Copies of this chain bind each other. A is one copy, B any other.
Amino acid sequence: MSEGIFYGVGVGPGDPELLTLRAARIIGEADLVVVPRPESDKESAAWSIAREHIREGCPVIKLVFPMTRDSALLDEAWERAAREIEGHLRRGIKVVFLTVGDPMLYSTYIYIFRRIKEAGCTVHTVPGVPSFCAAAAAAGMPLAEGDEKMAVVTWNARSPLSAGELEPFSSLVIMKASADLDGIIDTLQAAGFLQHSVLASRCGYADERVETELRSLKGTAVPYFSLILARKEEK
């Protein structure tokens, strides 16, 4: 029995035109497409971005991953998904897992990737454009240049960064900035990053939003996937 190949394909930040040529080709050659879908959403974002490249008649499995911090529940969901994918791979087919942004950055793919690799299957990862690169392009805000150092972080009240910890860095990308927005804004101010900061959401989508007055967002609610780009000084 021939072994299949598992592809983890980054479909970029949201705009279907930000797929790579390779992503488009691999998706078109898939025997089976697997997309993650949070319980809360009716549709999979990765599927929406890539749908026009999926071959007509190609089966698509939408795997629901719970939106929870309960690691036992998450483990169980990832394990179940990996075993289902492994079953398909044992039939010798090409299984393509779609993931928003880049597959190796803050994605559910990472948990599936490890399990499929440990099972001894062949895995190819196709890199994608991360959301923060699309946000930087949309905001016209360089991320890092010359000898600068950049921090890319998720941020919530349990794992913030202090102004002191930010000291070596010239720029900062905060993913999922919605959980502790007020705390973030206070720290950016203390660390000298607030003046040159933007909050971006839905970058690469038609309803893309870029806010430059972060101070005015204090106390407001912003979308879950909002990200913040901040620089210590304008050059």
Q: How far is the CB of A204 from chain B (nearest CB, A)?
A: 8
Q: Which residue of B lies closest to A107 (CB)?
A: B145
Given A142-B113, A151-B169, answer yes or no on A137-B103 (Cβ-Cβ < 8 Å).
Answer: yes
Q: How far is the CA of A158 from the CA of B149 in the complex (A)?
A: 13
> Contact: A142 with B20, CB < 8 Å?
no
> Contact: A123 with B144, CB < 8 Å?
no
Which residues of A from 87 to 135 have beta carbons under 8 Å from B?
Answer: 102-107, 110-111, 113-114, 117, 123, 125-130, 133-134
Interface size bucket, A side?
35 or more
Measured between beta carbons, the chain B residues less than 8 angstroms from A156 are 147
Q: Which of B15, B21, B110 contacts A17 (CB 8 A)?
A: B21
Q: Which of B129, B136, B140 contacts A123 (CB 8 A)?
A: B140
Q: Mark A49-91, 1 if CB is under 8 A from B, else 0.
A: 0000000000000000000000000000000000000000000
Q: How far is the CA of A136 from the CA of B126 in the complex (A)?
A: 10
> Contact: A110 with B145, CB < 8 Å?
yes
> Contact: A151 with B150, CB < 8 Å?
yes
Q: How far is the CA of A123 from the CA of B168 in the complex (A)?
A: 31
- Whether A218 is near chain B, meaning CB under 8 Å from some CB there, is no
Q: How far is the CA of A16 from the CA of B20 in the complex (A)?
A: 9
Q: How far is the CA of A44 from the CA of B114 in the complex (A)?
A: 37
Q: Which 4 pairs across A and B sit closest by C-beta, in order of nearness?
A: A125-B137, A104-B136, A127-B133, A17-B22
A105-B144, A113-B140, A151-B151 known; 9 other A-B pairs, CB under 8 Å?
A18-B127, A20-B21, A21-B21, A105-B136, A123-B140, A130-B133, A144-B152, A147-B159, A149-B152
- A-B contacts, 24 of them at CB < 8 A, read A10-B129, A18-B22, A20-B21, A21-B24, A102-B136, A102-B143, A104-B137, A105-B136, A105-B143, A110-B142, A114-B235, A117-B140, A123-B140, A125-B137, A127-B134, A144-B152, A147-B156, A148-B153, A149-B154, A149-B159, A150-B151, A150-B153, A151-B169, A161-B168
